[in-house]
Amino acid sequence: MTDRSEGERAQFDADEERGVREAYARDGHAECPRCAVRMRERSIGGGSFGLGYARKREWLLCPSCHRSVLFDVKRGTRN
């Protein structure tokens, strides 16, 4: 299902998003591949212990083009 309207909510394409994830995993921060500005990091959730998981999420937002990448951070867990 890909019925989201283009232009209203800009997104990275898959390659760009992967690049952001890799850069953030490696360096702890990432730059927007389109604007070459540092993306803002924001932690989401993590306090939902009642749901039985303590998964941490990071949200990277470009302050220029407002594209964002949301992903789970696996920190300190090795499975």
Q: Which residues of this chain interact with Zn ion, rule CB under 5 A?
A: 32, 34-35, 62, 64-65
- Choose between 3 and 15: whose C-beta lies nearer to Zn ion: 15
Question: C-beta of 14: minimal distance to Zn ion in Å?
Answer: 16
**CB 38 to Zn ion: min, Å:** 10
CA distance 5 to 26: 32
- The SS3 assignment for 41 reads strand
- Rounded least distance, CB 44 to Zn ion, Å: 19
Q: In terms of CB distance, is 23 or 56 closer to Zn ion?
A: 23
The beta-strand segments (E) located in the chain are 40-44, 56-61, 68-73
Alpha helices in the chain, H assignment, sequence order:
14-27
Question: 60 near 24, Cβ under 8 Å?
Answer: yes
Which of 48/64 has CB closer to Zn ion?
A: 64
